[in-house]
């Protein structure tokens, strides 16, 4: 598989959908899905923070962009589901009909998106953060080293994440979604190499990309070990009475809540690291992205030509009017 040298780095990136791809450019978002009638393309302008806005400040922008991507991703998934054939769509439940009647279609859609984002974040935090924290808290009676406890917690977190990714990659329905993910990466690779976006050129590219969301998630997992270790040590040093309660239920509860409050900081720092990696190609950036690149062997599959066509349409739909405006 060829890995053509990139000539520039683009900020255009996307997400695999149900029989489609969502691409985000500097000015527009595009959802492209393949249906029985052909390609369905939905393009909308991006709502970006104003120049000088607090949402663009370092660290703060990471949290803002994270939640924005979650909301946009859920909306795109719902849109791709709408493009699916009617026989494949689930019929609305009585609760859905009642809520839509009471709230109105627009408010109902906003409620569904908000609830989906909340549920997704709650499940992710519960499985990948809260559960490992509870495991480490149980060990406080036997292990008194704060660093060792956080290392064990981080190891449990990474094992859970790896197992989850591998199990999901084995699901029949997800294999096509991951093939669209591969199509997205290969098309971006071709675009960054400065080659014409033809099926032939794109199929020659690798399906792995260093600026993938998978790499970002893994950075969050690993960085949490460092942040939790340093912050917990600092917290206990200024609260010596709490340290004396080690092994108690109250101690475990306080430490778990403390670490959960640190999650936005972990996300913020991870975003800045991902941003740096996106703009540089050196030994440091390659080391940082190596684990995420390996994970993409599970989250991407080789696409067929029809999937490549969807990816090309999605990229072309979000290209900026001014050439080069999408460069990192």
What is the structure's pLDDT at 119?
Answer: 84
Residue the block writes with tokens 């809540």: 257
**18 within 8 A of 73, measured Cβ to Cβ:** no
pLDDT of residue 323: 82
**Spatial CA neighbour of 232 closest among 215, 254, 214, 217:** 254
Cα torsion 233, 239, 240, 244: sign? negative
Query: Helix, strand, coil proportions of the chain in percent (round to 5)?
Result: 65, 10, 25
Q: What is the pLDDT of residue 107?
A: 67
pLDDT of residue 309: 96
Run means of pLDDT, 10 residues per run, the chain, 328 residues:
72 92 94 92 88 85 89 87 62 52 59 75 86 87 84 91 90 91 96 95 94 83 90 87 82 88 92 84 84 90 96 96 84
CA distances from 62 to 68, 101, 171, 266 (A): 10, 37, 31, 10
Q: For residue 112, which of 130, 99, 131, 102 has the smallest C-alpha distance?
A: 99
Of 27, 32, 72, nearest to 319 by C-alpha is 27
List residues bridging with 31 in a β-sheet. Answer: 22, 42
Residue appearing with tokens 């607090």: 54
Indicate the pTM of the whole model. 0.85
Q: Compute the distance between CA of residue 214 and CA of residue 274 in angstroms, rounded to an integer.
A: 11
Q: Which two tokens stand for residue 136?
A: 């480490």
Contact 155/174 with Cβ under 8 angstroms?
no
Instruction: Give me the phi and psi of 45, to 5 degrees please.
Output: -70, 150
To 10 degrees, the CA torsion angle through 264, 266, 272, 277?
-140
Quick one: pLDDT at residue 143? 84
Q: Chain-centre distance of CA 257, in angstroms? A: 24
Residue 98: predicted pLDDT: 45
Would you state the pLDDT for residue 104? 56
Q: What is the spatial distance between Cα 176 and Cα 168, in angstroms, rounded to a whole number?
A: 12
Return the structure tokens found at 56.
């663009």
Closest CA to 37 of 84, 2, 93, 76: 84
Supply the angle between the helices 131-138 and 146-169 in degrees, to the nearest 10. 140
- The pLDDT score that the predictor gives to residue 183 is 97
């Amino acid at each position: 598989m060829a890995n053509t040298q990139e000539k520039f780095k683009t900020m255009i990136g996307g997400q695999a959908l149900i029989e489609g791809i969502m691409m985000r450019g500097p000015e527009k978002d595009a959802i492209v899905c393949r249906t029985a009638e052909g390609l369905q393309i939905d393009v909308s302008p991006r709502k970006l923070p104003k120049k000088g806005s607090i949402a663009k400040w370092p660290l703060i922008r990471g949290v803002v962009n994270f939640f924005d991507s979650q909301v946009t991703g859920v909306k795109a998934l719902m849109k791709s589901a709408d493009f699916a054939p009617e026989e494949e769509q689930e019929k609305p439940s009585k609760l859905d009909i009642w809520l839509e009647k009471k709230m109105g279609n627009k408010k109902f859609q906003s409620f569904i998106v908000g609830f989906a984002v909340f549920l997704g974040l709650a499940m992710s935090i519960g499985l990948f953060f809260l559960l490992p924290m509870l495991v480490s808290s149980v060990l406080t009676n036997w292990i008194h080293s704060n660093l060792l406890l956080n290392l064990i917690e981080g190891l449990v977190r990474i094992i859970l994440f790896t197992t989850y990714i591998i199990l999901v990659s084995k699901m029949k329905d997800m294999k096509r979604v991951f093939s669209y993910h591969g199509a997205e990466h290969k098309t971006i690779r071709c675009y960054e190499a400065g080659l014409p976006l033809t099926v032939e050129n794109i199929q020659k590219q690798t399906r792995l990309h260093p600026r993938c969301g998978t790499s970002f998630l893994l950075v969050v997992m690993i960085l949490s070990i460092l942040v939790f270790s340093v912050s917990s040590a600092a917290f206990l040093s200024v609260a010596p009475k709490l340290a004396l309660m080690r092994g108690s239920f109250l101690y475990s509860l306080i430490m778990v809540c403390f670490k959960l409050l640190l999650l936005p900081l972990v996300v913020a720092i991870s975003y800045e690291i991902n941003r740096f990696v996106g703009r540089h190609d050196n030994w440091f950036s390659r080391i940082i992205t190596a684990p995420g690149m390996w994970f993409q062997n599970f989250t991407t599959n080789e696409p067929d030509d029809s999937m490549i066509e969807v990816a090309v349409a999605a990229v072309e739909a979000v290209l900026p009017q001014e050439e080069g405006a999408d460069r990192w």
